[in-house]
A and B are shown apart, each in its own frame.
Chain A
Amino acid sequence: MKKITRYVIVDILRNRIVLAYTLFLLIISFSVFTLEDTGEKGLLSLLNITLIIVPLVSIIFSTIYTYNSAEFIELLVSQPLKRRTIWLSLYYGLSTSLGISFLIGAGIPIILYQPTTTGFVMIGAGIMLSVIFAAIALCGAVLIRDKAKGIGISILLWLYFSLLFDGLILFILFQFDDYPLDKFMIAASAFNPIDLSRIFILLQMDASALMGYTGALFRNFFGSGAGSAIATVVLLLWIIIPAWLSVRKFERKDL
């Protein structure tokens, strides 16, 4: 497993997109922290940017990379290797390199300017989001044979998680505002890892006004401690379930 993961990581590093992404994150983080007068504010601005960019880059890069590795996978499948090993190596390689990118690109500035609990939670959430969207990308890539279609779906998925989902929730809220929807909203937020990360970070921040509706409810319902714990568990589920589904699918796939 380690061997193949290493080949994947070396290959990813050689194709400079991930390096460019790291550099991009570095520039944005440093500029945000130098622009805002307090570190807390800087972190908040950075939060909004990373919640858009990290999922976008993770899902699209992972999807394209997986399709481009078709030959590599085909070569490995005829060797004495478990299919599960091949697929998981690809997944580990992708999530490690994306995670490290975030750790360097956003982590270093955060540690320099805002080495608080909130800062570290944000680094953790960013890495989680990278890993989650890599898993979702693998899931899509194993289900859809056609590359163009696969990339299209991954863009749609990103759009759904970062924009459409909130719209949908608001729509439901306005349509059914006569009903008590609190618990429903809390449950609904579990279906969007981006929303969940936002709540997770803001729970640490003491910025209830910015939490949005679901965030405020979350705090009321669970309090900060239990809320964070539950958010972490659900985020972990978001890593495990798509990865497991894609492995299952890949083990039965005809190549």
Chain B
Amino acid sequence: MIIASNLTKSFGKLKALDDVSITCNKGECIALIGPNGSGKTTLIKSILGMVVPDKGFITFNGKNIHHDWEYRKDLGYMPQIGHYPENMTIEQVIKMIKNIRKQYNTVFDEELIGQFQLHKILKKRMRTLSGGTRQKVSASLAFLFNSDVLILDEPTAGLDPLSAEIFRKKINAEKQRGKLILITSHILSDLDELVTEVIYMQEGKVLFHKGIETLRQETGEERLAKAIARIMQNNKV
């Protein structure tokens, strides 16, 4: 579904992406793991068309996304830090995004809005929201359109345990429906039951891209966190 070929992107001297090639297919739930500054967010932003790579290209359903914009109708994106117009209320933001995408979607998935109890605070302005509530808004917006592809950048970092659990359940449900889900996270325990594939990035390069079962067999560890730790210790990649 999403194929990135030889992506390279530099910000000044820093090489954020260095010849990155990945393939993501329908029904997979992919964890994008790596230390801070390893290029995970840049990779995600390139897929979203927010960052234009210096070299290489990305295809979405077989179409090159360069100069394309309509493919984003099949994308739900939850940013690491949600930036929203500060003066708008939650309700206005949701309405606006719905209005923008209404030519592609008529049915909206408002399950998360309900479960996160957002409907009680719809009149609150965005600037008054706490970091966690903002994340709930971002999450609700990402899932609102039943998109085929969900891209979640550090989704559970600011959520309380209860909300994180709701969120995990939602991701799982969407996975069952055969959607492609791309998650970056540092909280590996959150990902354990969810992911089917792991992409490990370091210094702008993809070190490995493996199925979770292969990873478990190779390292002999059941938990993802331990498996990754084992790999980093042995450095056998």
Binding site for B on A (CB under 8 A): 3-4, 7, 11, 14-15, 69-72, 74-83, 252-255
Known A254-B50, A254-B52, A255-B50; contact A80-B87, beta-carbon cutoff 8 A? no
Bound-state CA distance A162–B97 (Å) is 41
* Highest count of chain A CB atoms <10 Å: which of B49, B50, B73, B97: B50
> Residues of A contacting B72 with CB < 8 Å?
78-81
> Residues of B contacting A70 with CB < 8 Å?
83
User: Could you tell me if A76 and B50 are in contact, using CB atoms closer than 8 angstroms?
Assistant: no
Bound-state CA distance A80–B98 (Å) is 11
> Residues of A contacting B85 with CB < 8 Å?
11, 69, 71-72, 75
Smallest CB gap from A82: residue in B: B69
Contact with A along B68-106 (1 / 0, CB 8 A): 011111010101000111110000010011011100100
Bound-state CA distance A100–B21 (Å) is 51
- A-B pair number, CB within 8 angstroms: 62
User: Could you tell me if B51 and A79 are in contact, using CB atoms closer than 8 angstroms?
Assistant: no
User: Could you tell me if B73 and A80 are in contact, using CB atoms closer than 8 angstroms?
Assistant: yes
> Residues of A contacting B129 with CB < 8 Å?
none
User: Could you tell me if B87 and A4 are in contact, using CB atoms closer than 8 angstroms?
Assistant: no
User: Could you tell me if A14 and B87 are in contact, using CB atoms closer than 8 angstroms?
Assistant: yes
Known A11-B85, A14-B87; contact A78-B48, beta-carbon cutoff 8 A? yes
B45 within 8 A of A: yes
Contact partner, B87, options A11, A74, A77, A83, Cβ 8 Å: A11
> Residues of A contacting B77 with CB < 8 Å?
78
Contact partner, B100, options A14, A69, A76, A253, Cβ 8 Å: A76
Bound-state CA distance A253–B75 (Å) is 20
Bound-state CA distance A72–B84 (Å) is 6
User: Could you tell me if A252 and B52 are in contact, using CB atoms closer than 8 angstroms?
Assistant: yes
Number of B interface residues at 8 Å Cβ cutoff, please give it. Answer: 27
Contact partner, A71, options B48, B70, B83, B99, Cβ 8 Å: B83
User: Could you tell me if A3 and B51 are in contact, using CB atoms closer than 8 angstroms?
Assistant: no
> Residues of A contacting B83 with CB < 8 Å?
70-71, 74-75
User: Could you tell me if B70 and A78 are in contact, using CB atoms closer than 8 angstroms?
Assistant: no
Bound-state CA distance A241–B52 (Å) is 24
Q: Smallest distance from the beta carbon of A147 to chain B beta carbons, Å?
A: 14
Having A77-B50, A78-B48, A255-B51, one finds 14 other A-B pairs with CB under 8 Å, namely: A4-B100, A11-B85, A71-B84, A75-B97, A78-B77, A78-B79, A79-B100, A80-B73, A80-B104, A81-B72, A82-B69, A254-B11, A255-B45, A255-B50
Bound-state CA distance A216–B85 (Å) is 50
Q: Smallest distance from the beta carbon of B133 to chain A beta carbons, Å?
A: 16
22 A-B residue pairings within 8 Å (CB atoms): A3-B99, A4-B100, A70-B83, A71-B84, A71-B86, A72-B85, A74-B79, A75-B93, A75-B97, A77-B48, A77-B50, A78-B50, A78-B75, A78-B79, A79-B97, A80-B71, A80-B72, A80-B73, A81-B69, A254-B45, A254-B52, A255-B50
Q: Smallest distance from the beta carbon of B40 to chain A beta carbons, Å?
A: 16
Contact partner, A254, options B51, B73, B104, Cβ 8 Å: B51
Q: Smallest distance from the beta carbon of A34 to chain B beta carbons, Å?
A: 38
Bound-state CA distance A11–B89 (Å) is 12
User: Could you tell me if A75 and B87 are in contact, using CB atoms closer than 8 angstroms?
Assistant: no
Smallest CB gap from A83: residue in B: B69
> Residues of A contacting B45 with CB < 8 Å?
254-255
Contact partner, A80, options B11, B50, B51, B70, Cβ 8 Å: B70
User: Could you tell me if A79 and B52 are in contact, using CB atoms closer than 8 angstroms?
Assistant: no
> Residues of B contacting A11 with CB < 8 Å?
85, 87
Contact partner, B49, options A4, A14, A72, A77, Cβ 8 Å: A77
